[in-house]
């Protein structure tokens, strides 16, 4: 059976997981979780692969990759513990969420649509759109995105990514001017945000994807999701309706959990807690790195 593949991607911490989960509750869909991630396909050996010779995935390897994902045929996977850490008891017994999603997909051979949820594919979007995939791109305002990295103590690998990125998409003076400060979590987040979305502008791909922004979700979460489901030609189920009807709570930075995902927080609180987390210097850095391209994703008025 030839299955349709829909990619849900965006910079990490921009709601790829809730968007992907919701779409995977539609009729006739199954989910593949981050096959390009740290516990995903062993054939992809770099962080945030791009399409091109020595960039992660060659042009010739792209169609077989899509076909293998459609057929639930990932091949050999990387070690199931992330980043060299010891595997948890659950991971040791059952494998990673990536492997678990493949196993669940194989139990539903009748499914006709694969929801490929993967922020690690964000820098492949122009090539995947060119290959005919429907692509959903999630975007969170740069300030909210950076605050999330600060809260979790994360650092992107922007310095390591940039040499490959510049080969694929051309040099960027803004990125180059901040690389020596990329050890700072906020700067690293803003750099990754720029590296994730600037290719959509340089290749004129933004108008060819389904863009889901944090502002749209905050304004009307249910309407945004329903519109997306309709645009993709999917059919909502009772599970979708239950998810959309769940109440969310407001939360400030002081009571934000250290969980990567907290499904009880409202979109508004997630979008705004940067005000309690980022300093004036942080905000200046984020704006210097992102303000020239932010309006393309978050137009005003």
Read off the CATH number of the domain in which 236 is found.
Answer: 3.40.50
Instruction: For strands 113-117 and 210-213, give the pairing.
Output: unpaired
User: What is the reported pLDDT for 260?
Assistant: 42
CA angle 73, 3, 59 (to 5 degrees): 65
Q: Give CA separation, 295 vs 201, 239, 301, in Å.
A: 11, 35, 11
Residue 259: predicted pLDDT? 46
Are residues 155 and 149 in contact, defined by beta-carbon separation less than 8 angstroms? yes
Nearest-10 crossing angle of helices 185-202, 280-290 = 20
pLDDT for the residue 266: 57
pLDDT, tens digit, 9 for 90 and up, residues 53-74: 999 999 999 999 999 999 999 9
For residue 118, how far is the Cα from the chain centroid? 5
Task: Show the domain range for 152.
Answer: 4-251+259-297
Q: Exposure of 47 by Cβ count < 10 A (0-12 exposed, 13-18 middle, 19+ buried)?
A: middle
Tens of pLDDT, residue by residue over 107-138, are: 999 999 999 999 999 999 999 999 999 999 99
Count of domains observed in the chain: 1
């Amino acid at each position: 059976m030839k299955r349709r593949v829909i990619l849900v991607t965006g910079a990490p911490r921009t709601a790829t997981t809730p968007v992907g989960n919701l779409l995977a509750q539609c009729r006739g869909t199954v989910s593949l979780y981050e096959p390009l991630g740290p516990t995903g396909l062993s054939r992809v050996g770099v962080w945030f692969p791009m399409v091109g010779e020595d960039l992660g995935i060659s042009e010739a390897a792209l169609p077989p990759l899509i076909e293998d994902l459609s057929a639930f045929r990932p091949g050999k996977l990387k070690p199931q513990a992330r980043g060299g850490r010891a595997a948890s008891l659950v991971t040791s017994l059952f494998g990673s969420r990536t492997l678990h999603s493949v196993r669940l997909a194989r139990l539903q051979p009748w499914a006709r649509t694969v929801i490929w949820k993967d922020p690690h594919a964000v820098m492949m979007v122009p090539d995947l759109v060119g290959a005919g995939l429907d692509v959903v791109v999630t975007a969170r305002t740069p300030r909210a995105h950076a605050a999330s990295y600060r809260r979790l103590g994360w650092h992107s690998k922007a310095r390591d990514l940039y040499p490959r990125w510049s080969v694929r998409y051309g040099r960027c003076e803004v990125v180059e001017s901040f690389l020596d400060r990329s050890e700072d979590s906020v700067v690293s987040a803003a750099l990754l945000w720029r590296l994730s979305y600037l290719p959509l502008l340089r290749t004129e791909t933004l108008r060819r994807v389904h863009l889901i922004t944090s502002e749209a979700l905050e304004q009307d979460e249910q309407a945004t999701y329903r519109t997306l489901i309709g645009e993709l030609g999917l059919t909502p189920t009772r599970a979708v309706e239950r998810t959309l009807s769940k109440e969310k709570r407001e939360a400030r930075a002081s009571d934000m959990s250290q969980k990567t995902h907290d499904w009880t927080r409202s979109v508004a609180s997630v979008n705004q807690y940067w005000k309690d987390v980022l300093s004036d210097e942080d905000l200046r850095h984020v704006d210097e790195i992102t303000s020239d391209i932010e309006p393309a994703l978050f137009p005003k008025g």
